A and B are shown apart, each in its own frame.
Chain A
Amino acid sequence: MLDFLLRRLSAALVTLVLASVVVFAVLEILPGDPALVMLGTEARPDTLAALRAKLGFDRPAPERYVSWIAGLLTFDLGNSHAYGTPVSKLILDRLVVTLPLAAMALSFSMCVAIPLGVFAASRRGRAADWLVMGFGQLGISIPNFWFGILLALVFAVALKLFPAGGFPGWGTDFAASLHALILPALSLSLPEIAILSRVTRSSMLDTLREDYVRTARAKGVAERDVLMRHALRNALIPIVTIAGLLAGFLVAGAIIVETVFYLPGVGKLVFDSINNRDLIVIKNVVLLLTILVLLVNLIVDMIYVMLDPRPKVQA
C-alpha cells in the first residue's frame, strides 16, 4: 500500500511541477512583456519600467520561476497588483468561502446520488429506474450556473426563502452565511448528482450479480441488508473514484457559481483578477486550484486502497 501511495504521490508531484511550468510560461513568457499585459498598451514607458522593476520582470525568466516556487514553499506569493495586499492573505480569505461551498456541494451530491443510484438499481427496468436515469441525463445536460439562476428565481425571487446572492461572512453572522451557501452548493452539486447516481446504479447492478450477493439472499438476509451491507460496500469503489475525478468539475463549477451568487470566494477572485489583469493573483490561484485537484485525487486513491485492500499491481 505504501509503495502504491508513494508512486501516486511522485506522479502527482511530476504533474504539479509540469503544471507550474505551464502556468509560468503562459503568463510570464508567452506574452513577451507581462508588465504590458497588466498595464495595457496605453501605459507610459516609465510606468512600465517601474512595474517591471517592482515585480522583478526585468530578471531572467528561470530566475523568476525559481523564486516563485521558493516563495510558494514558504507561502510568500508576493503582493496583488490590484489589491495591494499579499496574495497569500487574499487566497486564504477567499478559501474560507470556497472550501465550505465545495464540501457542502460534495456532501449534497453523495447524500442524494448514492441512495438514488441504489434505489434505481433495486428497481431495475421499472418506472423508478427510468425516472432516475432520465434525471441523470437531464442533470448532465443543464449548465449548473443556469440551474443556479433558476434556483434563485424560485427560492429567492418568488418564494423569498433564500438570498439571491451575497455572503455576510462567518464572523458577522454564521447562520446567515451557511444559509447563503445552500443555493450555490445545490447548483454546484447538480451535475455531480447526475453522474454519481448513474455510476452508483451501474456499479450496484454489477455487484448485485456477484455470487456472494446470491448467497446472502439464499441465506435469507433481508433485501435491505443485502443492498446496504453486501452490495453497496463493494459498489462504493468505482463511486469514490469517479467522485474524485469530479473534483475538477467542482473547481471549474465554483468559479462560475460564485460569480452567479456574488460569493467572495476563490472563483470570484479569479474572475475579478482577469478583469484587473492581475497576473500575480491568477498565476498563484490557478496553481493552487491545480494542487487542490491533485490533492483530492490523492485522497481518493487512499480511500480506494482502504475500500479495496487487495494489492495493486499497477499504479
Chain B
Amino acid sequence: MKKMWGIVALAVLCGSVAGVRAEEPALTDPSAAPVMMEEALKDLASEDAAVQEAAVQTLITRGDAALVPKLEAMRAEGDRSLRMAIKPVLDLLKNKAKLTSRKQEERRSAAADLAATGNPMALVWLEAAFPTEQDRWVRYQIEESIGLIKLADADPAVKAAAATKLGELHSQNAVPALKELAASAGSAQAFSTGSGQALSTDSAAQTPEQALVAKAAREAIERIETWSSWTSAIETLFRGISLSSVLLLMALGLAIIFGLMGVINMAHGEFMMLGAYATFLTQEGFKAWLPPGLFDYYFLLAMPCSFLAAGLFGLLLEASLIRFLYGRPLETLLATWGVSLILIQGARVVFGDLTSVVAPSWLSGGMQLMVGVQLPYNRMFIIALAAVCVLGIYLLLFRTGVGLRVRAVMQNRNMSACLAIPTRKVDAYTFAFGSGLAGLAGCALTLIGNVEPGLGQNYIVDSFMVVVTGGVGKLAGTIVASLGIGGLNKLLEPSFGAVYGKVFILVLVILFLQWRPSGLFTIKGRHVDS
C-alpha cells in the first residue's frame, strides 16, 4: 500500500508526463485497487461522518472513471446524505476522465469544472495534464483553473502569485474572488461595489503578507478590467455587425421587390418562411435517405433549395397575381397581405409544430478570438453570407446585360419597351429573384431562430424599416441603413434594455424620416412613376 502512495506522491511532485504514466499502473492495479474501492464504496453509505469522509477521500484520490456507473447507481438509490457525499466524488472523477478526452471542448469544460470544485486533488490532475496539452484554449483554461484553486491556498505567497498570474491571464472568472481578497486585506473602500460578504470581513488585522496579497489582487483586477473594457468594445462591434447582417439579408429581397419594382409585398416575410421550411425539408430528406455522416452538409444544399423554392413561388405569384396589380400599390398591399395569411395558415396545416432545424455541427459553437471574446460560427456565417449576397447582387445588376435591362426597366418602363427589352419577362425574373433572396434569408434565419408559421411576421416590420430608411430604390441605402440600425440598436441595448432600445430606434427612425422623407439615398432625376 505504502508503495502505491509513494507513486501517487511522486506524480504529485513531478507533475510531469512521467508522473502521469507512473500513476496509471498504480490505479489500474488489478489485485489491490478493486478491493479497496469496494470497501470505500461500502463506507460511503456509513452513518459515521468520519468514515464517510475517509471513503470520499479514497475514492477521489484513487478512483477513476470506471467507478462512475457504480456511483451513479448508488446515487439513484441512496438517501440524501449518500447523494450529497457522492456528488463531489462523481464530479471530480467524471472531469478527471474528461481531462484526457479527445474532444477539445470536453477537456476544456472539464478543466473549468475542476476549478469550481476547488479540490486540491484537482490541482494535481490539472498540473499533470498541462504539459501535454496542445490546444491553446484548453491550456488557457487549465492555467486559469490552477490559478483559481491556488487563490484559495493558505500560503499568502502562493495566493499573491496566483493573483498576479490570473491578472496576466485576464481571467474574468477570477474577479469575484480577487475582489474578496483585495477587500479582506483592508482596502474595502476601493472595491466596495463587490459582493456583500467581502465587506463584512474583518479588515483591521493586516499583516505584511496580506498587504502583498491585496496589492497583487488589486493590480490583477485593474488589469482584468482594462482588458474587459476592450473586449466588450469588440463584442459590441461584432454584435452590431451581426445584427446588421441579419437585417441586410432580410431587406435585400425587399429592396429589390419594393425598392426597385415598387411592389409593396406584405408576403415578403412568408417568402422567408418558405425558405426556412425548404431548409427543414432538406434536413428531413438528408435524415431519411442519406447516411448520417453526410448530415452536416445538408445546409449547403439547403441554401440553393430555399432560394429556388421561394424564387419559384415568387414567379408563380407574380404571374398569377402581382402582374395584374402593377402601379396600384394599395391593391398590391391588400392582395399580398391576403397571400401572407394563406401561406401562414397553410404552413400551420401542412407542417404543424413539429419542425425543428438542427444547425450543422460546423455552425454551432464559436471561435475564441481572444480571452473573453467568443464569436459564434453561425453569426460569422451569416455575416459572410450577407456580404456574398451584396456582392452577387452588385455584380448581377451592374456588371451583366441582364442587370442593365433590369435597371433600364425600373428607370423608364416605356422607353425600355421601345428599345425592345421584354419588360414582362424582366418584371417576372426580378420579382422571382427578390423572392429567392428572401428564401435564402429564411434559410439563414434557421441558424439563429426557430421555424414556425409566424416566422415572417417577426421580421417584416424590420425589413420595411431598413428599406424605407435607406431610401426606396437604392441598394446602397439599404446596406447603410441596415448597418446604421443594427449598430445603433446594439449600442443602445446595453444601457436601455431590449424593450426601450427598440422603442428608441423606432423613434429615431421616425425623426429621421421627418427630416429626410425619402430616406438616406434618393434617386436624383426624373422617375417614370413620379
A and B bind: no
Chain A residues close to B by CB (< 8 Å): none
Q: Which residues of B are in contact with A by a Cβ distance under 8 Å?
A: none
